[in-house]
Amino acid sequence: MTEITTNTIIDSLSEYVKSKTPIAPSTWVDAAAKLNLLLSDENDILYELEHKIAVDRKDYMEQGMTAAKAKVYVEATDGYKDYRKQKARIEQVIEFVRIAKVQSRVRSEEFKGY
């Protein structure tokens, strides 16, 4: 059995969109509920990345760098890039849940013939 992650959910819905396949209201609701539950895992990853960045910044400052210079050095690392990607991922999931709620309502009304 394949593990369900935020990536697998978003990727499967992307396939629907790319193939122009209508998505049922129940699918929108199901995806939104799963994403909402999995959001805590994504937040845990973000917190770990934030902690690593803070430690790196502290280490640079302990080496005598100013806060501004340490910030520049930290922002040039792959860890900071991963942090920014993770932050964007969480924002994407939150926005998807919002859209899914609206889509579910709209699709449900369409199915009813309103």
Structure confidence at residue 114 (pLDDT): 55
Q: For the chain (length 114 residues), average pLDDT per consecutive 10?
A: 89 92 87 93 97 97 97 97 96 90 76 64
Structure confidence at residue 2 (pLDDT): 83
Residue 19 in domain: no
Residue 65: how many CB atoms within 10 A of its CB? 16
Runs of H (alpha helix) within the chain: 6-18, 25-62, 67-75, 78-112
- CA pseudo-torsion sign 50, 7, 36, 40: negative
Residue 46 in domain: yes
Residue 89 in domain: yes
Structure confidence at residue 111 (pLDDT): 65
Q: What is the pTM of this model?
A: 0.79
Structure confidence at residue 73 (pLDDT): 97
Structure confidence at residue 22 (pLDDT): 86
Structure confidence at residue 113 (pLDDT): 65
Q: What is the number of structural domains in the chain?
A: 1
> Which residues form the domain of 52?
41-114
